[in-house]
Structure 1
């Protein structure tokens, strides 16, 4: 279930996401990029383990930008609460470059200190999601008061253009629309968002396609959906989809999903 942050925080936080893993079996999931960083709280007594390294994840961690999908195992009965930041929200609230934690699951205590564990304890005791949201809003409102960085206006304009175009443009076209050199736009994206403008554009285009696919659910129109989403043809879509998600679009729709970019394997 998605929950909106307070209006004053919407510049930094896209939404809060709360979901339960339906059983205490050991299940494997794949997570792929959506162009945002997140702060994750593992509630209840379950645990998450990265499959590629067999590393048990901390009870609360910062999920950095992903250049490749990640697979992990969930063991036990778990509730997961995710704070999904706006593209530069993590940078603005922490002053940490977005590129620092690429493909990383960093213990939140190393970034926010022990206060983040106190917040987790409060969240874990909540019996009502609205109380959870109030705790989160209060915590991040205080964080926002002490912020030292803001999203560069030229980058904010670039991100707005990409979202309005739903990722249907190239980096060269973006530079032409914004009047920013490619070198500068690369630097701004890496510093404040954590990935290249090309990857960010690709993520926005892919997730725009996923919305269309979920709404239509008609594989007979996959070629049309590909073109509408800004891909050259169906082959281009499938190639880019598999590169980010790891499976074909037709396979993706058959999966059991906890979130758009989190599905059981």
Structure 2
């Protein structure tokens, strides 16, 4: 599968963490598991290509050609199986942006996939432009123009506490006492929990657990050593806890996951976000 990072216009930097173009030929095959998603995602299936399949939390989903999808953050086992010719553009939004995009509390879209192809006229217009544009650069230009209009609203002042808390958890690889987190961002534990559900979709503790797990996967891939040593660095006190997290998030054991890992497409941006 061909993977190409797309340049992000500066005005969208505060909203978008990563944008990628993926293409696979008709005779190719790709299958991979995804780590839990820290970012909400926009998924643009472009051109008149075949569909692709996704298993997600025990359910199977088909992505139709010329369709647009949105995902909230997720912690259910997820895997893609691409058995046909396909072209997609994937846009991953910074933590907290889901609420601005959907005009809703983020927990509503957590672990959910929505077909947004026909939700409003602006999406219909974008989808039609993508279908007839003759280059990836032009398609990406149309998508960015749509997102600039979508993100016109400013961040509410209360979002600042969430942004600071997420930054602390990222820098600490999720290994940070949640009770101290609210003190660090000058709010109550109850209020921070409410704000995380509104802007992130998970409680601070659950989001910290996801970051810790992703940090472990990232660190182990960069420097494969004894699982127990790296697990300890990431705040796991024993391998049984790590194994439980692998089954919970990936539906497989650590050894099976790393044996079949494909660094080109497997985790897109989640792990890069947590590099030291």
The TM-score range, normalised by the shorter chain, is 0.7 to 0.9
1:99 and 2:103 aligned: no
Please list, as runs of the form range in 1=range in 2, the aligned pairs for 1:6-155 lying within 5 A after superposition: 6-24=9-27, 29-44=32-47, 45-51=49-55, 52-58=58-64, 59-71=67-79, 73-109=81-117, 111=119, 113-125=120-132, 128-145=135-152, 147=153, 149-150=155-156, 152-155=159-162
- Supply the distance in 2 between the matched residues of 1:3 and 1:27 (Cα, whole angstroms): 21
Deviates more, 1:238-247 or 1:43-52: 43-52
- Supply the distance in 1 between the matched residues of 2:268 and 2:240 (Cα, whole angstroms): 21
Q: What is the TM-score when the length of structure 2 is the normalising length?
A: 0.81
SS of 2:43 mapped into structure 1: strand
Once the two structures are TM-superposed, the CA of residue 140 in structure 1 deviates from its matched residue by: 1.5
- Supply the distance in 1 between the matched residues of 2:6 and 2:196 (Cα, whole angstroms): 27
The 8 Å contact of residues 52 and 63 in structure 2, kept in 1 or not, is answered as: yes
The 8 Å contact of residues 57 and 105 in structure 1, kept in 2 or not, is answered as: no
Alpha-carbon deviations, 1:52-71, whole Å to 9, x = none?
55553452111122241234
The 8 Å contact of residues 72 and 98 in structure 2, kept in 1 or not, is answered as: no
The aligned residue for residue 272 of structure 2 is: none
- Supply the distance in 1 between the matched residues of 2:210 and 2:134 (Cα, whole angstroms): 35
Once the two structures are TM-superposed, the CA of residue 48 in structure 1 deviates from its matched residue by: 3.2
The 8 Å contact of residues 49 and 72 in structure 1, kept in 2 or not, is answered as: yes
1:228 and 2:236 aligned: no
SS of 2:151 mapped into structure 1: helix
Report the count of equivalent residues: 258
The aligned residue for residue 248 of structure 1 is: 253
- Supply the distance in 2 between the matched residues of 1:256 and 1:79 (Cα, whole angstroms): 22
The 8 Å contact of residues 12 and 93 in structure 1, kept in 2 or not, is answered as: no
Alpha-carbon deviations, 1:37-95, whole Å to 9, x = none?
11111123121345555553452111122241234554531122111011111212342
1:239 and 2:244 aligned: yes
1:174 and 2:172 aligned: no
- Supply the distance in 2 between the matched residues of 1:86 and 1:199 (Cα, whole angstroms): 17
**Root mean square deviation of aligned Cα:** 2.7
The 8 Å contact of residues 33 and 266 in structure 2, kept in 1 or not, is answered as: no
The 8 Å contact of residues 117 and 127 in structure 2, kept in 1 or not, is answered as: no
1:200 and 2:207 aligned: yes
Alpha-carbon deviations, 1:142-198, whole Å to 9, x = none?
2222x2644611111111111111111132232233333221111101111111111
The aligned residue for residue 157 of structure 1 is: 164
Unmatched 5+ residue regions in structure 2?
270-276
- Supply the distance in 2 between the matched residues of 1:227 and 1:23 (Cα, whole angstroms): 44
SS of 2:259 mapped into structure 1: coil
**Change in CA separation of 1:2 and 1:204 when aligned onto 2, cut-off 3 Å:** farther
Once the two structures are TM-superposed, the CA of residue 261 in structure 1 deviates from its matched residue by: 6.8
The 8 Å contact of residues 68 and 103 in structure 1, kept in 2 or not, is answered as: yes
